[in-house]
């Protein structure tokens, strides 16, 4: 079904990498595991706009415990070697995190640079605990070591779109994840494929 649906999209959408069924089965399993681990705790799930929206919505609905959801947003700026990789917070949290159990939910973790930055922001709020959950983990490009409590899938160094992942703000609404056949430049990839960009 996913392969047939993919044929209706432009030619730059390649083969289905993860089907809608594969994604939903894994999300359900993650939700069940998180529910067991956080039973009886005051859990806050925090995501970063906007690539994580689809994963976050499905993940919290797969949890069988009370959970509060909050979002923050960041912007990347700098095009020189000196400023590349610099990020700033553009939308802060609305929920207090002090003394609560926080789960950082991410769509893709690639180099780990921006995720490390976000984890630092969350630690500053002095939560009772802090853990990370990622749908797609790409360890081959890791620069900063990340301790990931929950991982959906490990993926190779290929450009992916769908289920929240975009190319220039397109293809987020695909219900599956597909390979993007027209490779973007390295700079564009850094900006749009990981949170360290414009997800």
Strand 67-77 relative to strand 86-91, pairing: antiparallel
Find the DSSP H helices in 38-153: 53-61, 113-124
Residue 198 counted as domain residue:
no
Mean pLDDT across the chain? 87
* Per-residue confidence (pLDDT) for residue 192, from 0 to 100: 45
Asked whether residue 129 is domain-assigned, the answer is: yes
The model's pLDDT over 78-106, given as tens digits with 9 standing for 90+, comes to 554 444 557 788 888 999 999 999 999 99
Long-range CB contacts (within 8 A, 24+) of 151-160: 152/23, 152/26, 152/27, 152/30, 152/55, 153/18, 153/26, 155/17, 158/17, 159/183, 159/184, 159/189, 159/193, 160/17, 160/108, 160/136, 160/193
Whether 61 maps to a domain, the answer reads yes
Q: Does residue 26 sit within a domain?
A: yes
Closest CA to 15 of 170, 162, 141: 162
pLDDT confidence of residue 33: 99
Domain extent for 10: 2-192
Dihedral (CA of 182, 183, 188, 192) sign: positive
Has residue 27 got a pLDDT over 80? yes
Catalytic residue among 110, 147, 157, 166: 110
Gap between the Cα atoms of 194 and 199, Å rounded: 7
Indicate whether 41 belongs to any domain. yes
Contact status, residue 118 vs residue 144, Cβ threshold 8 Å: no
Whether the per-residue pLDDT at 12 is higher than 90: the answer is no
Per-residue pLDDT at 83 = 45
Look up 110 and say whether it is catalytic.
yes
Examine residue 197 and state whether it is found in any structural domain, yes or no: no
Provide the percentage of residues in the chain whose pLDDT is more than 70: 80
- How many domains are contained in the chain? 1
Q: Is the pTM of this model over 0.95?
A: no
Task: Please write the tens of the pLDDT for every residue from 105-163.
Answer: 999 999 999 999 999 999 999 999 999 999 999 999 999 999 999 999 999 999 999 99
Higher pLDDT: 199 or 150? It is: 150
pLDDT of residue 13: 86
Q: Where is pLDDT greater, at 78 or 14?
A: 14
CATH number of the domain where residue 61 is located: 3.40.50.2020
Is residue 199 a part of any domain in this protein?
no
């Amino acid at each position: 079904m996913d392969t047939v649906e993919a044929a209706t999209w432009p030619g730059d959408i390649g083969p289905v990498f993860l089907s809608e069924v594969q994604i939903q089965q894994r999300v359900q399993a993650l939700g069940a595991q998180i529910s067991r681990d956080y039973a009886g705790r005051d859990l806050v799930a925090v995501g970063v706009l906007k690539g994580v929206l689809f994963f976050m919505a499905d993940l919290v609905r797969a949890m069988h415990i009370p959970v509060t959801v909050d979002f923050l947003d960041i912007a990347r700026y700098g095009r020189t070697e000196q400023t590349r990789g610099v990020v700033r917070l553009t939308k802060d949290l609305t929920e207090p995190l002090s003394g609560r159990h926080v789960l950082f939910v991410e769509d893709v973790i690639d180099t780990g640079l921006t995720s490390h930055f976000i984890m630092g922001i969350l630690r500053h709020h002095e939560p009772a605990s802090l853990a990370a959950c990622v749908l797609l983990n790409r360890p081959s490009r890791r620069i900063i070591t990340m301790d990931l409590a929950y991982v959906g899938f490990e993926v190779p160094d290929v450009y992916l779109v769908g289920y929240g992942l975009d190319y220039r703000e397109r293809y987020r609404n695909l219900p599956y994840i597909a390979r993007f056949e027209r490779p973007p430049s390295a700079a564009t990839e850094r900006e749009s494929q990981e949170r360290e960009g414009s997800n």
